[in-house]
Amino acid sequence: MKILLLLGYWILVIIMGLLYMGIARKVTARIQNRYGPPFYQAFLDVLKLFSKRETASHGVMHSLGPVIAFAGISTTLLFLPLGKGAPVLHFQGDLFVFLYLIVIGPLGMALGAGESNNPNATIGIARALSLMLGYEIILFMATLPVFVHFKTASIYEVILNQGAFPNWAGIKFPLSMLGGLIALQGLLGEKPFDQPIAPHEIASGPTVEYGGKYLGLLQLWHAVAIIVETGLFIDVFFGPQNILWFFLGTFIVFMLSVVINAVMPRFRIEQAIRFYWGVPLLLVVLGILQYYLWR
Amino acid sequence: MKMEEKVVEELKNILGNLGEVWIQREKRVYAKVPKNLVLPLLAFLKDKGFHQLTAITCVDWLKKGKFELIYNLFSLNYEGVHVFIKTELERDKETMPSAIEIFPMAFDYEREIHEMFGIVFEGHPRLDNFILEDWDGPPPMRKDFDTAKYVEEKYGVKDYAEELWRRREQPYREEKDE
Amino acid sequence: MGLFKISQGRSLWMVHFCTGCGAVEMPPTMTSRFDMERFGVAPMATPRQADVLLITGYLTVKTLKRVIMVYEQMPTPKYVIGFGSCTVNGGIYWDSYNVIKNLELYIPVDLYIFGCMPRPESIIDAFLKLRKMIEEGKANKWKDYIERYDWYKQNQAKLFDVNKWRVQK
Amino acid sequence: MYNISLALLSILLGALVFFGTLSHKALRIASLVVGILSILAFTFLYLKPGSLEIVKLGVFAMSFNLTEVSQFFLWIIIASFILSLFSLLHEERSAFFYLYYFLAFGFAALTVMANDLLTLYMNFELMSLSVFAILLLGVRGNTKEIAFKYMIYSLVGAYFYLGGLFLKFRYSGNIGFGPIVGASTLTQIGIFVLLALPFLVKIATMPFHNWAPDAYYSASDSFTVFFSAGLSKVGVYGLAILILKTFTELFKNNIYLPEVVAWIGGITALLGGIYAFMSDDAKKLLAYSSISQLGYVLVGLGLFTPYSFSAGIFHSVAHFVFEGVLFVTVAAVIHRVGTSDLRKMGGLIKKMPISFIGLLFGIIAGSGIPPTVGFPGKWLLYEAIIMKGDLFLVSLIFFASITAFLYSYKLVHSIFLGKLHKEHRNVKEAPLGYIIATILFLVPLIVFGVFPGALFERIYTFTKPVFNHDAFFTLNSLKTQIGFAKMTVAGITLISMFVISFILYLVSGKSYRAKQEDNYTAGEWVDEDFASHYAQEFYGFMRKAFGKLLDLSAEKFWNGVLSIFKAVAEMTRRVYTGDVRDYALYLIFFLIVLVFLVGGRL
């Protein structure tokens, strides 16, 4: 029975993720003063990609890359509680299990894209991994005070301890929440931190040799990744009490990052890394100090 | 006395009766010299201050059976006077010494002239094809190159000229949408 | 299968090979005034991800070689739209020794847009026509390239050495 | 006389292989196989834990005792030795190499069995000596200088250790592992530092680390498997014994020492990781990654809470497993390709798939991804540090663990993915010995990853008397006050998700195998020797991002120390001018000072 529930949540999140991507394109279009595609465009894209007859593959690892990526991100999804009500696998693991599972997706894709003999792909991956040195630390340090404040390392307990509006962790630790938001922009790979998939510089980075069904799997991976990454932020800082609040919260946070993405240029890669050691690091360190002083 | 007359003056007493020098129009000085005098004249003018070899052009006089090479020189401190050195070559018989030692930029001009007209420049390191990749036909800019026949044979499309001329008289018919 | 056909029609990802002067018509079609993204058409960075190849202008022998390579790297089913009269019959370069006269001989073309650089409206109209053709299952010129592969290669061999330049299938 | 005979056995086997290699190649392999079998037979049949043995050597006695801790580490040393022997089958080395190889193993085993500080010291020294001899027979680079650099570090460390030994004897009267009584905390810290120094050198903590990259680079490839997986565990054993038995009180009530040791470990982990992903040679990259992973172990041991200590020990076992498999696969690649320079390899996945799988699982474990052995140690370490409450340390460690992803991907990509160069067209799969070693390493990598409880139980036996904490583990899950992690669930969901997405992959469309040159290069035709393998400046742009941090190197630090000594020596040399008048002058000057000091009360 539990398995059906898990698969149900998995399908729900894929659909919501694709919806978010469709609405994101519409919002970006509206910002650029044009109509933009219908909101269900992402479904059509994925369906078209899976209906492709014959696509090029550069070897077994190249074909398995997207499969591992999608499998990795779906496993991570099951470890993320979707708000209080949703009984997912969160009883089996806590923050560190989640943080180390979330890496399987990009690692799978990196191995796959590396197999193709295209330098664009590997440069994209080298950028993605180096960028991780930037935002991953800030995200971790942003969530630290909340976990230590509630004396737990499991995301589900953090949600339980956060009741209605006044005692959200985001309100208690506003600086860490801001630092986490900036780090989220890097995690989602939205401009100004989309160096790894820069279409103009490195021909869409790691996905340069992926077409047809591989790209379809990667689109699904991106859709689930949006929900998982914003979900972590929402769970930690705003403790949604039920699944509706969860999806509303992730939607708002994602739209915020999409709006930033629509208007921002793209940093150079070393600027992006060093950016994260400037203001966001300061914000997050102040958040930790706030915890120490206010324990 | 205008600048171009001064230049003509200098050229005249250098060349003497070996070549004729004249002013085509304002600020345009022409000198026609035999083939072997071109390089020394270029060197001389370069010392005088004509540092820029803007172009080497080639004219194909089919009827006279001659190629005419024109070297355009320009200088900043001669108030915009251009000097053109003309020389004539027998078609397909004579070759021309390359001007690369004096003006390095002649490298590409000569390569293009070789590709388009077939003139061989001695001492030029790379005379292989330059702009036209995989070109198998004769040099295309020569007057005796029949473009229409080449196009029809290579791209399999017949000449439209007669077709358009024939249609000229008929009134414009309203084509119905099928 | 019908759903696949609809999705293929309504989400056309294009890679445009800006050879000649047609590329200047693409920005207005993409941006806010005409906005082709309304119909699901989006520019892609690599031929691997694209379905539609736009040849926007005259093709010299040199660029034809690159166009063929890009065409062969695209996953099937793929479509080609020829922009402007240069792809139809060589346009103003009808008698040039260097420009190919009829794109049809070298790669299968589904749709031509007339005009010496068509306006954005006709470009979008072309995309809608292509969508209708896909949904009716008529846009399968790419099969023609596979069936008559030797005929196409023979035509191409007239212009350049195909074996050296061939993408090994 | 049971356990010590392991050393005698290894000397005997060393001699056997020594004569075997001298005579004929087949005999060498036969004698190596005999070596493997006899050591296995000895450990399973003959080893008797817990029996104290005294060996009288004229004036003093060496005492050996196989306690749980030493048995735990002995197993690791024996396992790594045997697995490195498998890869040694395929290497042609001089006869002496094999002799020293077995000697190093014998003395390492004895060091782990030592029952008092003196025997520990003697066997530790003999082990370093035999490793020095092996490094002299190195394969690449300036082996003499590198071997001497290693020896100098070990010797200096050992002499500090001797100093600590004497001080311990002065205060507590015996040189056993018992606690030091009657000394002030400051002197106790002093003694701890003196005693711990050689072990810190052995696990290459930051300031004492720069022998490691050169030694790993120049040593023969199969020896580096034993060197990094086995011998560094002797360092971990030494630290564990010191912290567990001798300095428990010191670590319990002193607050600053654990923090300092943990921070040293954290900085080693971070800088080790950064240098790892900036280095261009496979062996150097692995050396720095080994230093970085041992940094975690030091953090675990140093922090001295029940969870962090067992996390440290567990992670040292994990280090043995994934560093072992990484070094074996890299040794196999070097054996086939001939160079260890990352910039010259590429695309070997098509030719050496099994080594690729071995390396892939090695890096997955190295970066600590759940279903593998690297994860439980790291997870427990994070939990322990958070429970102790210093958040900056846990951020530093998390930062260091991110660098693990960077250098792992650089290693896998430069060797196996990307473009297969023309000259590697006819490279065959790794020879049998390497494959056996890789597969044998992969077994613990998965088993301890999914069932960490099996290992924690052994660790629990010797950490319980010290911390008397209750068992925080079951066979496949770990539970602390603040967190919970079940290993099997992560593994099962990952596999089932993989199956589902694989079905989705099979259902849709076909795919054809594109040639190696058939890449999107903006339509340009690309031939064979088009340099499209991005391995030259892999993280080149990181130089701009890290800039100053990169040129901060211990080499400069030690050169600075060297120049200070030179300056001091220069000054003293000038005093002895050999001129009588100067000496008279010194005498008068000395008398004046004396009078001044005594103050006229003569």
Give pLDDT, residue D129: 92
Residue A58 — very low, low, confident or very high, per pLDDT cuts 50/70/90?
A: confident
Q: What is the ipTM of this complex?
A: 0.85
Give pLDDT, residue D360: 93
Residue B173 — very low, low, confident or very high, per pLDDT cuts 50/70/90?
A: low
The answer to whether residue B134 neighbours chain C at the CB level (below 8 Å) is yes
Report chain B residues whose CB lies below 8 A from the CB of C62: 133
For chain A, the maximum distance between any two Cα atoms, rounded to a whole number of angstroms, is 62
Give pLDDT, residue B71: 93
Distance from CA of C33 to the nearest CA of A (A): 7
State which amino acid sits at residue A196: P
Give chain D's residues under pLDDT 50.
none
Model pLDDT for residues A81-136, shown as the tens digit of each residue: 887 765 566 566 678 888 888 888 888 899 999 888 888 899 999 999 888 888 99
D-interface mutation test, from A11, A122, A217, A274, most D Cβ less than 10 A away: A122
Place of tokens 């810290």: D189
The answer to whether residue B177 sits within a structural domain is no
Cβ within 8 Å, pair A36-C37: yes
Give pLDDT, residue B177: 47
Number of separate domains in chain B: 2
The answer to whether residue B178 sits within a structural domain is no
Distance from CA of D478 to the nearest CA of A (A): 10
Percent of chain B with pLDDT over 90: 19
The answer to whether residue B148 neighbours chain C at the CB level (below 8 Å) is yes
Question: Contact at 8 Å (CB) between D399 and A137?
Answer: yes
Q: Taking CA atoms, what residue in D is nearest to A274?
A: D545
Write down the mean pLDDT value for chain B: 84
Distance from CA of D357 to the nearest CA of C (A): 28
B81 and B164 both lie in a single domain: no
Cβ within 8 Å, pair C35-A29: yes
Cβ within 8 Å, pair C61-B132: yes
Cβ within 8 Å, pair C61-B134: yes
Q: Please tell me which of the candidates C94, C96, C161 has its beta carbon nearest to residue B160.
A: C94
What mean pLDDT is predicted for residues B102-111?
91
Number of separate domains in chain A: 1
Cβ within 8 Å, pair C160-B148: no
The answer to whether residue A26 neighbours chain C at the CB level (below 8 Å) is no
Give pLDDT, residue B176: 54
The answer to whether residue A208 neighbours chain C at the CB level (below 8 Å) is yes
In sequence order, the 6+-apart residues with CB closer than 8 A to the CB of D529 are D422
DSSP B42-98: HHHHHHHT--EEEEEEEEEETTTTEEEEEEEEE-GGGTT-EEEEEEEEETTT--EE-
B43 and B110 both lie in a single domain: yes
Distance, CA of A80 to CA of C168 (rounded, Å): 46
The two structure tokens encoding residue D194: 């003196």
Distance from CA of D524 to the nearest CA of C (A): 6
The answer to whether residue A96 neighbours chain D at the CB level (below 8 Å) is yes
Give pLDDT, residue D518: 79
Half-sphere exposure of A10 (CA within 13 A, CB side): 24
Give pLDDT, residue B169: 63
B146 and B126 both lie in a single domain: no
What mean pLDDT is predicted for residues C154-159?
86
Report chain C residues whose CB lies below 8 A from the CB of D525: 65, 69, 164-165
Neighbours of chain D (3+ CB pairs under 8 A): A, C
CATH number at C55 reads 3.40.50.12280
- E-only strand ranges, D4-112: 52-57, 60-65
Distance from CA of C64 to the nearest CA of D (A): 10
The answer to whether residue A31 neighbours chain D at the CB level (below 8 Å) is no
In sequence order, the 6+-apart residues with CB closer than 8 A to the CB of D55 are D4, D61, D62, D63, D64
Report chain A residues whose CB lies below 8 A from the CB of D518: 56
**Which of A227, A30, A25, A187 lies closest to A106 in space, CA to CA?**
A187
Which domain covers residue C159, as residue numbers?
2-165
Residue B161 — very low, low, confident or very high, per pLDDT cuts 50/70/90?
A: low
Cβ within 8 Å, pair A35-C74: no
Q: What is the 3-state secondary structure (H, E, C) of A143-209?
A: HHHHHHHCCCCCHHHHHHHCCCCCCCHHHHCHHHHHHHHHHHHHHHCCCCCCHHHCHHHHCCHHHHH
Neighbours of chain B (3+ CB pairs under 8 A): C
Question: Contact at 8 Å (CB) between B112 and B131?
Answer: yes
Name which of B132-141, C18-27, C58-67, D524-533 the model is least confident about.
Answer: D524-533
The answer to whether residue B164 neighbours chain C at the CB level (below 8 Å) is no
Distance, CA of A20 to CA of A23 (rounded, Å): 5
- Phi then psi dihedrals of residue B130, to 5 deg: -115, -65
DSSP D527: -
Model pLDDT for residues A196-209, shown as the tens digit of each residue: 888 888 888 888 88
State which amino acid sits at residue B38: V
Give pLDDT, residue D365: 92
B113 and B155 both lie in a single domain: no
Write down the mean pLDDT value for chain C: 86
Which domain covers residue B161, as residue numbers?
142-172
Cβ within 8 Å, pair D523-C169: no
Give pLDDT, residue C131: 92
Give the burial class of D111: count Cβ atoms within 10 A of its Cβ; 0-12 exposed, 13-18 middle, 19 or more buried.
buried
Cβ within 8 Å, pair D367-A103: yes
Give pLDDT, residue A22: 93
Distance, CA of D125 to CA of D119 (rounded, Å): 10
Give pLDDT, residue A211: 83
Which domain covers residue A111, as residue numbers?
2-294
The total of other beta-carbon atoms located within 10 Å of residue B176's CB is 5
B88 and B99 both lie in a single domain: yes
Distance from CA of C150 to the nearest CA of D (A): 20
- Phi then psi dihedrals of residue B133, to 5 deg: -70, 150
**Which of D202, D274, D196 lies closest to D232 in space, CA to CA?**
D202
The answer to whether residue B116 sits within a structural domain is yes
Residue A227 — very low, low, confident or very high, per pLDDT cuts 50/70/90?
A: very high
Give pLDDT, residue B178: 46
Neighbours of chain A (3+ CB pairs under 8 A): C, D
* CB < 8 Å from A in window 71-100 of C: 73-77
* CB < 8 Å from B in window 107-126 of C: none
B99 and B163 both lie in a single domain: no
Number of separate domains in chain C: 1
Cβ within 8 Å, pair C73-D518: yes
Distance, CA of A35 to CA of C33 (rounded, Å): 10
Q: Taking CA atoms, what residue in D is nearest to C163?
A: D525
Higher pLDDT, C19 or D274: D274
Report chain A residues whose CB lies below 8 A from the CB of D417: 61, 111, 114-115, 122
The total of other beta-carbon atoms located within 10 Å of residue A264's CB is 14
CA separation, residue C110 to residues A58, B115, C113 (Å): 29, 37, 10
pLDDT of B154 > 60? The answer is yes
The total of other beta-carbon atoms located within 10 Å of residue B124's CB is 17
Q: Please tell me which of the candidates A37, A54, A203 has its beta carbon nearest to residue C40.
A: A37
Distance, CA of D330 to CA of D332 (rounded, Å): 5
Percent of chain A with pLDDT over 70: 97
Report chain A residues whose CB lies below 8 A from the CB of D352: none
CA separation, residue B118 to residues B39, B60, B139, D522 (Å): 20, 11, 6, 33
Query: Does A contact D via 3+ CB–CB distances below 8 Å?
Result: yes
Give pLDDT, residue C126: 92
B97 and B31 both lie in a single domain: yes
Model pLDDT for residues C112-144, shown as the tens digit of each residue: 888 888 899 999 999 999 999 999 888 888 888
Name the H helices within D221-373: 221-224, 232-241, 248-253, 256-278, 282-303, 306-337, 353-366
Give the burial class of D191: count Cβ atoms within 10 A of its Cβ; 0-12 exposed, 13-18 middle, 19 or more buried.
buried
In sequence order, the 6+-apart residues with CB closer than 8 A to the CB of A153 are A94, A95, A96, A147, D382, D383, D386, D480, D482, D483
pLDDT of A241 > 70? The answer is yes
pTM of this structure: 0.88
